[in-house]
Amino acid sequence: MKHNHDQLKTELTNRIQKFGKWAVRLTWFAVVWELLRLLSSFYMYRIYVTQYGEGTDFLSHIQTGMGYYDDFWKDTLPNTAILIAILVLTVILYRRIRKDGVPFTQKNVKTLRICTLLMGIRAGLPLLQNLPFLPALSFKGYFRQCFVMIFEKNLSVWFFGMLFLCTEIAAYGAALQQESDETL
């Protein structure tokens, strides 16, 4: 039984390390992609400001590849900065797991908690950005608008929930790992 457990642990560690190698590369690619997207959005924003001036309301908005308008300083920059921070923390997490071969450690749980906090902030940004405009809506419209901004048009809320669940599972796994290490 002990031999089978050791063999399983070795195989799992090898798979984690192989996956970690590709996950780190893919995540760095995502970081570079987001930086390039941010730079291109800033470039487009500067073109509009140069042509139409800083005070223009509609024309200071840029059209992204997704087909909607967003303001660079209010929307694009904070969302992308938070996403890049999450991706860099993910690289750190993958590297640590790959190096140690053990996913369930207190350091990894702490990194996951920081990622969860950042995702929660990213999920709440649309509501915070539009907070000054919400009181102008009727009481019923206020709740409808809040619901739309938070849940319908914002997948970050669902990712926040999933990441929170994964963080709690990792915390439980870290506690079991620590208990197992102390027993052996």
Backbone angles phi, psi at 60, to 5 degrees: -80, -5
H-only helix segments in 53-155:
77-100, 106-129, 139-147
Domains in the chain, number: 1
Does the pLDDT value for residue 113 go beyond 90? yes
Burial string for 43-72 (b: 16+ CB within 10 Å, else e) reads: eebeebbeeeeeeeeeebbbebeeeeebeb
C-alpha span between 23 and 16 (Å, rounded)? 10
Residue 154: both structure tokens together: 């914002």
pLDDT in tens, 136-167: 555 566 666 666 666 666 677 778 888 899 89
Residue 88, Cα to own-chain centre: how many angstroms? 10
Rg from Cα positions in the chain: 22
Return the minimum-mean-pLDDT range out of 16-20, 63-67, 173-177.
63-67
Q: For residue 152, what are the domain limits?
A: 2-183
pTM: 0.71
Cα–Cα distance measured from residue 153 to residue 79, given in angstroms and rounded to the nearest whole number? 14
pLDDT in tens, 65-86: 443 345 667 777 888 899 899 9
